[in-house]
Amino acid sequence: MARIVSETLDNGLPLHRIRVDGTRATTILIAFDAGARAERRDENGMAHFLEHVVFKGGEKYEDHRTINRTAEQLGARTNAATSHDLVAFHITVRAEAAPQAIDLVTDFVARPRLDENHLDMERGVVAQEIARYLDQPAYVASRMSALATFGDHPLGRPVLGRVEHLPTFTRAALLSFRQRRWAGCRGGAFIIGNIDHVSDDGEISDLFERFPTLEEPEPYESAPDFLPRTLVERRDTNQSHLRMSYRLDYDVTDAKARAAARICAIILGGSPSSRFNDEIREQRGLCYSISAGIRECADVGVLNLAAGLASANCVEAYTRMREIVAELCAQGPTDEEVARARAVAAGRRVLAFEDTYTVALHTAHQAIVHHGDLDPDALIAELDAVTIDDVHDIASAIDPDKPSVACLGPHDAEEF
């Protein structure tokens, strides 16, 4: 079991220190419930853009060059990520350098300069990032799938946003978004791994109190009712990218149900012996890539299926994938399938949790999105404890006749 010490700072920001034995690394991660889901329609992409521009300089480390060189002198790995649920900043260092790393990351994240000249330059950088992703058919198909599943709702809009929004992301607009969404009570700071060099005399807490005290944000927009759509972008290519999504009917705040949903997805398409991979790829040779996974937001869970395949095989694969989902819904899994999937899920997590950053990001989701147990070992125990009845409960609640469908390739919507 990890050893966890938590406190809430004067600015409302929870600070969690989680000691993980057997590592010489420390990850410091700061996250807020301020991802793309928190954006208004005309702000789409702002959370991601703000994630970029804080790296341009803070009060003490005044520009990107100073930040980068300081991080290199610490031997650090630093980055950030924006999803629909969270914006998260992290730095991972050898344990001895943790205090200096905390000083660095809290400076530019909590006290960014947001210089107008830097904003102008970064708009061009982000525009190139968006263009790069739009050149990737698999990304476009996944973006279409979110729209087919959630429609014109924040969960259906792209995290990267739209190029035409970038000119509106002024310094005043970014400061307003931060003021509205980056409240300590809807975020968290996490020090994970070897914390032998992190003092508990208040000095470290003072660094995290560089974040201002802000009022609690307004609630985000609840997930919409599920109205499955079929979206096809016709392209004259030899390869098609197929996506299917089913709304899951379970309480996403229930850790046991979340674990069972993961096992259900692995049985369908999350491992080499999964039903999709075994039949559609290995026996029928219809595709090279096929998978199933769970998209789990704060108030909704979705089963996402994906396949990349020769266009001539697309409709046959789509038809059989729907049949396999229907079979699992009606008949449930076998004991052997559940046992294998449990081993896969728990084993992958054990290996992933060798990395302190992965532990930190998982913990942030637990604390901020799901309000669950922060101990990483708890997730492994939950996966190990999933029963065949738990998985059957998840599968039997799926409506196999109502997937949302997205496809990019030489097809028409009527084919699906």
Domains of the chain: 3-208 (3.30.830.10), 230-415 (3.30.830.10)
CA 223 from chain centre, in angstroms, equals: 16
Whether 372 has a pLDDT exceeding 80, the answer reads yes
Burial classification of residue 101, based on how many CB atoms lie within 10 Å of its CB (0-12 exposed, 13-18 middle, 19 or more buried): buried
Q: What sign has the CA pseudo-torsion 200, 201, 205, 207?
A: negative
**Sole residue written with tokens 């310094």:** 171
Mean pLDDT, residues 216-226: 92
| 19 contacts 3 by C-beta, under 8 angstroms | yes
Structure tokens at 369: 């999105």
Structure tokens at 327: 């079979």
The model's pTM: 0.94
Determine the Cα–Cα distance for residues 119 and 279; give it in Å rounded to an integer. Answer: 50
**In this model, does residue 350 exceed pLDDT 80?**
yes
252-265 average pLDDT score: 97
Q: Give the pLDDT confidence of 125-145 residue by residue, as tens digits.
A: 999 999 999 999 999 999 999
- Listed in sequence order, the residues at least 6 apart from 383 whose beta carbon sits closer than 8 Å to its beta carbon are 259, 262, 263, 342, 345, 346, 349
Please give the DSSP secondary-structure letter assigned to residue 213. P
What value does the mean pLDDT take over residues 38-57?
97
Candidate from 94-103, 149-158, 216-225, 334-343 with smallest mean pLDDT? 216-225
Mean pLDDT, range 276-299, rounded to an integer: 96
Alpha-carbon separation of residue 292 from 36, 130, 232, 261 (angstroms): 23, 25, 20, 11
pLDDT > 80? residue 362? yes
Percentage of the residues of the chain whose pLDDT score is greater than 70: 100
- pLDDT score at 290: 98
Q: What is the mean pLDDT of the chain?
A: 96
Is the pLDDT score of 327 beyond 80? yes
Q: Tell me, what's the pLDDT at 29? A: 98
Residue with tokens 């791994």: 193
What is the mean pLDDT of the segment spanning 232-251? 96
Q: At 1, is the pLDDT very low, low, confident or very high (cuts 50, 70, 90)? A: low
Q: Which two tokens stand for residue 391?
A: 């998985």
CA pair distance 213, 184, nearest whole angstrom = 7
The arithmetic mean of pLDDT across residues 198-202, rounded, is 88
pLDDT, position 202: 86
State both tokens at 323. 């049949």
pLDDT digits 0-9 by tens, 134-177: 999 999 999 999 999 999 999 999 999 999 999 999 999 999 99
pLDDT of residue 144: 97
Q: How many helices (H) and strands (E) does the chain have?
A: 14, 11
- Running DSSP on this structure, what letter comes out for residue 163? G
221 has a pLDDT exceeding 70:
yes
pLDDT at 9 over 90: yes
Q: What is the spatial distance between Cα 184 and Cα 173, in angstroms, rounded to a whole number?
A: 20
Residue 2's pLDDT band (cuts 50, 70, 90): confident
